[in-house]
Structure 1
Amino acid sequence: MKQISSRFSVAVHILSLIAVSPKECTGDFIADSVNTNPVIIRKIMGMLKKAGLVEVRPGVGGASLLKDPDQITLLDVYRAVDVIEDGQLFNFHDEPNQDCPVGRNIESALRSELRDAQSAMEQRLAQVTLDQLTVQFH
């Protein structure tokens, strides 16, 4: 089973570190906290920068938030790191058997249910700010 990309949780981890410990946030510090390769951190930082969420200081290193933590929602982060393909969280399997009544109708029967599930998840992410999350780390 394919899971949602871990880029989302790593991006939230990065932004939380910057919000909580902005002065220490070099690439190595972040990679050590996330316990992953600095190359992965740089890639995700680039996505967050492109989305207008962080500013990265070259050379000396370090990063800062471009918005207050109470203005960054988990939905902003989710969208910034391209967690899903083509805006669709759920994908359908290719070419079900059209001679089977289930195979012929499964996509149309499930599509609206899955769209509603994705919408509910996105609405929930939109209600949680980085500030609300990082309060738990003090």
Structure 2
Amino acid sequence: MGANSRLTIAVHALTWMEVHRRQGNEISTSEQIAGSVNTNPVVIRRLLGELQKAGLVESRRGAGAGWTLSRELESITLLDVYRAVEPGVLFAMHRSTPNLECPVGVGIQPAMQEIYDHIEETLRAELARTTLVEVMREVLSGAG
């Protein structure tokens, strides 16, 4: 199974939008963002749609169409972005009920759920500690 890059792409897009804004550009197009991410604009539009539902970006239609940030990067955490693009749980149980007559089958779900709950709680706490402005500063300090 491959790793999921949706959080990384979403953070990339939002950070790029702020850098683009600071360069004097009021709006960003999905084509421009896709050029930075090096992906198809359709992928970016889908992701921006999810970010819009979460209140992180706004879209403009008509002349001058494009996207803007709804909030300052200082007020957006990695957890906000994660929740917008990864609404489900990190780990899931069996799709069907395991054999409850088996000593492993009867106890695997409760045992794993406790572990998964702890991992999710730790992940969310770590993501909540970092704002996108911190990510942007780190990105720009490495960009030379």
TM bin, normalised by shorter chain, reads: 0.7 to 0.9
Answer yes or no: is the 8 Å Cα contact 1:18–1:64 preserved in 2. Answer: yes
Q: How does 1:38-77 map to 2 (within 5 A)?
A: 38-59=41-62, 60-77=64-81
1:104 aligns with 2:103: no
SS in 2 for 1:63: strand
Query: Normalization by structure 1: what TM-score?
Result: 0.87
Higher relative contact order (CA 8 A, sep 6+): 1
**Which runs of 5 or more residues in structure 1 are unaligned?**
none
Bigger mean CA offset, 107-116 vs 127-136:
107-116
Instruction: Provide the rounded CA distance (Å) in 2 between the counterparts of 1:53 and 1:125.
Output: 16
Residue 84 of structure 1 deviates from its aligned partner by 4.0
Q: Deviations over 1:88-111 (max 9, x none)?
A: 221012332323211211111121
Q: Aligned partners of 1:66, 1:26: CA distance in 2, in Å? A: 15
Give the TM-score normalised by structure 2. Answer: 0.84
Separation in 2, partners of 1:84, 1:51:
11
Q: Does 1:14 align with 2:10?
A: no
Does the residue aligned with 2:68 lie in a helix, a strand or coil?
A: strand
Alignment partners' CA distance in 1, 2:70 and 2:135: 17
Rounded to whole Å, the distance in 2 between the matches of 1:109 and 1:50 is 35
**CA distance in structure 1 between the aligned counterparts of 2:75 and 2:128, rounded to whole angstroms:** 10
User: CA RMSD of the aligned region, Å?
Assistant: 1.7
Post-superposition CA distance 1:21-48 (Å, at most 9, x none): 1227221111111111111111111111
Q: Using the aligned pairs only, state the percent identity.
A: 43
Aligned equivalent of 2:133: 131
Aligned length: 134
Q: What CA distance in whole angstroms lies between the structure 1 residues aligned with 2:108 and 2:2?
A: 19
Contact 1:73/1:128, CA 8 A, preserved across alignment = yes
